[in-house]
């Protein structure tokens, strides 16, 4: 008996200048004939004063990094590529936010074409409470997902209206399972390499950036045996434009940039920077969870945001500071080679993220899930039925709109007929008036001609002479 197999078509829509969130999937699919992966480079819509990133920019970035991809913007046709033309079985987006994607590639449209998926880019370490209470509820993207692939079993999954599957941290797959070594150009490899990542939101309950920015200048200038990187989120600079603190920030960044052992980092190479550091100082961030896998020291700068289970687990072996004096004391102690949390931290470093079974890499595990699902008859039937219902509903909506437009068209036709009748009557009256004007003009011309004839006659000249004679 011959088993008929099909190639599984995956479209991965990317609108960021990063490759770490899909590179191992890309490399695996190149060598696996069961899968056909299409990387679709598209626009990142700039919001909140952030810069817009065009499809061309994303496309050129991938080409520079030797990633075969398709530019979603068809310049000749002046429109985006139709996603259904790839006949996808699964569609992934690099962002879980519709607002950053072109209309054609938003979740409400993609779910009608194939099973819509997303890989969690960063593992949350906070509870969705307080200022983040409605963060997930306000995002319609999750309602349209088939599956969200997460780094671990999240304690927030009850708050998202979609399936989830823990596979491990895909962003770290290269480092954890493909022997990639972090490569970052630190000026002095023997110095204490420190990365500081404050929260980009600038909210005092959420971020310590303005609490410590000026103090780090003094510390770095007085400690030439350290190398310090200020790692910032791309949204930080755009967010500063709308805040009153830009002048203060700019003033101190200029000063810090005068120091030879200081630099800023926000490029796509940020993971190499973080993972090669000796110490990470950070407000709450998924970067903390990623750095925790190295087993190296973390200094968590406390905020008023509550941590979730993963965050609390990491903090069990992390140093915590509520002011700069504590940060300074911890760094001085580490510089002396004293690290009281080292043993516990290294013992826990492999426990934060889900480990794929049977020594599979995270990419291999994800592809296995897709393969098994694609050949699951029940799953395929359920999804085909769902697609039928969704597209049938779409057809009904379009037909309803078409009926409304048809009615409007008929109304406008009747109005046009009435207007045309009025126009004809006006034109008829106008034509009559023109005839009257022409007739009167003919009469006037004849009168003028007669008048001219009279004025120029000998009789009229004789009368003029008599009138003059009588006056004298």
pLDDT tens, residue by residue, 178-224: 999 999 999 988 899 999 999 988 888 889 999 999 999 999 999 99
pLDDT, greater one: 41 or 463 = 41
Say whether pLDDT at 4 is over 60.
no
pLDDT of residue 341: 97
Say whether pLDDT at 251 is over 80.
yes
Pairing state between β 35-41 and 8-14 = parallel
Q: How far apart are CA 344 and CA 245, in angstroms?
A: 39
The set of residues, in sequence order, having a beta carbon less than 8 Å from that of 166 and lying 6+ positions away, is: 149, 150, 151, 152, 153, 154, 354
pLDDT of residue 411: 78
Q: Based on the number of CB atoms within 10 Å of its own CB, is 346 exposed (0-12), middle (13-18) or buried (19 or more)? A: middle
Say whether pLDDT at 2 is over 50.
no
For the chain, give every domain's residue range. 8-169+358-375, 192-352
Q: What mean pLDDT, rounded, does the chain reach?
A: 86
Q: Which helix (H) or strand (E) holds 119?
A: strand 115-119
pLDDT of residue 396: 72
Reported as half-sphere exposure (CB side, CA atoms, 13 A), residue 444 has a value of 6
The least confident of 17-26, 63-72, 400-409 is: 400-409
Give this prediction's pTM. Answer: 0.80
For 422-434, the pLDDT digits (tens) are 888 888 888 877 8
Classify domain 8-169+358-375 by CATH number.
3.40.50
CATH code matching the domain that covers 192-352, chosen among 1.10.3720.10, 3.20.20.70, 3.40.50.2000, 3.40.50.720: 3.40.50.2000
Helix axis angle for 23-30 and 362-374, nearest 10°, is 60
CB atoms within 10 A of CB 375: 13
pLDDT of residue 90: 96
Residue found by looking up tokens 């013992």 in the block = 347
pLDDT of residue 418: 79
Task: Work out the percent of the chain whose per-residue pLDDT is above 90.
Answer: 57
Q: Quick one: which of 104, 113, 16 has its CA closest to 391?
A: 113
Stretch 123-142: mean pLDDT, rounded? Answer: 74
Q: Where are the alpha helices (DSSP H) in 336-376?
A: 342-348, 362-374
pLDDT, greater one: 236 or 172 = 172
Q: How far apart are CA 465 and CA 472, in angstroms?
A: 11
The least confident of 149-158, 297-306, 442-451 is: 442-451
Find the angle CA(407)-CA(412)-CA(416) to the nearest 5 degrees. 150
pLDDT, greater one: 26 or 97 = 26
CB atoms within 10 A of CB 101: 22
Q: How confident is the model at residue 133 (pLDDT cuts 50, 70, 90)?
A: low
pLDDT of residue 3: 47
Stretch 156-174: mean pLDDT, rounded? Answer: 84
Stretch 18-23: mean pLDDT, rounded? Answer: 92
For residues 111-133, one letter each, b for 16 or more C-beta atoms within 10 angstroms of the residue's C-beta and e for the rest, the string is bbbbbbbbbbbebbbbbbeeebe
């Amino acid at each position: 008996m011959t088993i008929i197999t099909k190639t599984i078509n995956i479209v991965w829509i990317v609108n960021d200048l990063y490759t770490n969130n899909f590179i191992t999937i890309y490399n695996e699919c190149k060598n696996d004939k069961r899968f056909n992966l299409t990387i679709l480079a598209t626009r990142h819509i700039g919001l909140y004063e952030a810069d817009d990133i065009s499809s061309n920019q994303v496309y050129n970035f991938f080409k520079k990094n030797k990633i075969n991809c398709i530019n979603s913007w068809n310049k000749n046709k002046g429109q985006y590529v139709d996603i259904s033309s790839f006949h996808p079985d699964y569609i992934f987006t690099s962002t879980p936010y519709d607002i950053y994607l072109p209309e054609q590639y938003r979740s409400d449209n993609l779910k009608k074409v194939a099973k819509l998926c997303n890989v969690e880019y960063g593992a949350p370490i906070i509870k969705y409470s307080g200022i983040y209470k409605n963060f997930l509820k306000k995002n319609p993207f999750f309602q349209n997902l088939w599956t969200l692939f997460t780094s671990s079993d999240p304690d927030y999954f009850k708050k998202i209206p979609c399936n989830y599957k823990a596979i491990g941290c895909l962003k770290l797959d290269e480092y954890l399972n493909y022997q990639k070594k972090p490569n970052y150009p630190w000026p002095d490899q023997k110095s204490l390499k420190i990365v500081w990542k404050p929260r980009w939101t600038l909210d005092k309950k959420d971020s310590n950036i303005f609490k410590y920015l000026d103090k780090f200048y003094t510390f770095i200038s007085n400690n030439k045996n350290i190398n310090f990187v200020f790692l910032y989120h791309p949204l930080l600079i755009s967010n500063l434009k709308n805040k009153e603190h830009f002048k203060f920030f700019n003033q101190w960044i200029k000063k810090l940039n005068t120091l030879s052992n200081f630099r800023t980092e926000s490029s796509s190479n940020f993971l190499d920077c973080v993972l090669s550091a000796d110490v990470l100082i950070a407000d709450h961030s998924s970067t903390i969870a990623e750095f925790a896998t190295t087993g190296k020291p973390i200094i968590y700068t406390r905020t008023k945001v509550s941590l979730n289970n993963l965050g609390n687990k990491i903090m069990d072996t992390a140093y915590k500071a509520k002011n700069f004096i504590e940060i300074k004391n911890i760094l001085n102690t580490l510089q002396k080679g004293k690290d009281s949390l080292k043993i516990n931290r290294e013992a826990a470093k492999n426990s934060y993220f889900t480990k794929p079974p049977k020594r599979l890499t995270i990419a291999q595990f994800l592809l296995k899930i897709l393969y098994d699902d694609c050949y699951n008859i029940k799953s395929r039937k359920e999804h085909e039925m769902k697609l039928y219902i969704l597209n049938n509903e779409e057809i009904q909506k379009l037909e309803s709109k078409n009926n409304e437009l048809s009615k409007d068209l008929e109304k406008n036709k009747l109005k046009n007929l009435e207007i045309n009748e009025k126009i004809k009557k006006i034109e008829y009256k106008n034509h009559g008036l023109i005839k009257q004007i022409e007739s009167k003009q003919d009469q006037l011309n004849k009168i003028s001609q007669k008048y001219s004839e009279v004025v120029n006659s000998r009789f009229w000249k004789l009368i003029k002479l008599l009138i003059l004679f009588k006056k004298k």
